[in-house]
Amino acid sequence: MTEKTTISEKIVLLKRIELFESLSVGELAAIASVAEEVDYPAGEIIIKEGDAGDTLFLMVSGEVSVIKDLGEINEIEIDRMTDGEYFGEMALFEDTVRSVSIRTEKPSAFMVLHKQEFKEIVREYPQIALEICKILSRRIRHLHRKIEDRDYCKENISETQSPSLNAK
């Protein structure tokens, strides 16, 4: 985003992001008014696992990799994200350290929402927090299903059940 994006352009971009797709135009405008525009070149570490976080990143363009144990012998890329995706959302709700590192794989543009501004917006528009919680809850349920669907989980569950439970 080399030129300053207008509020209405930001609203359109926010509407494309799952986290905000169900919000009203007024709610989106409130977010757009405080969202900061940030660009990063390829190869940049923008979040480092273990660091404190207070920022949500909304991807406008580009590509990032999600990395666990960056720089360690057991480093693993666990995901790739592109336009319309987001990361760092947990930092808006709790004071915790980052659970993964994020590195740009291509030049990338973001809208960034900081915790303090988010808190102020939510005071005026509490529906925003409720909608985000719904999306995050859906994401957690999806991850739980993925874990439960893994073969080793099914095998471990059946091995730990007692014969009396299996007989029912």
Q: How far apart are CA 1 and CA 90, in angstroms?
A: 25
**pLDDT tens-digit readout, 69-79:** 988 899 899 88
Predicted local confidence at residue 142, as pLDDT: 78
Residue ranges making up the domain that contains 55: 7-159
Q: State residue 91's pLDDT score.
A: 84
Q: Is residue 167 part of a domain?
A: no
Q: Is residue 79 part of a domain?
A: yes
Q: What is the pLDDT of residue 109?
A: 94
Distance CA 103, CA 41 (A): 10
CA torsion sign for 96, 121, 86, 7 is: negative
131 in a domain, yes or no?
Answer: yes
Is 155 domain-assigned? yes
Number of domains the chain is built from: 1
Residue 35 sits at the vertex; the CA angle it makes with 38 and 55, to the nearest 5 degrees, is: 75
Stretches in the chain below the pLDDT threshold 70: 1-3, 151-168
Q: Residue 131 has what pLDDT?
A: 84
Q: Is residue 166 part of a domain?
A: no
Other residues' Cβ atoms within 10 Å of the Cβ of residue 90:
13
Q: Is residue 165 part of a domain?
A: no
Q: For residue 98, what is the domain's CATH number?
A: 2.60.120.10
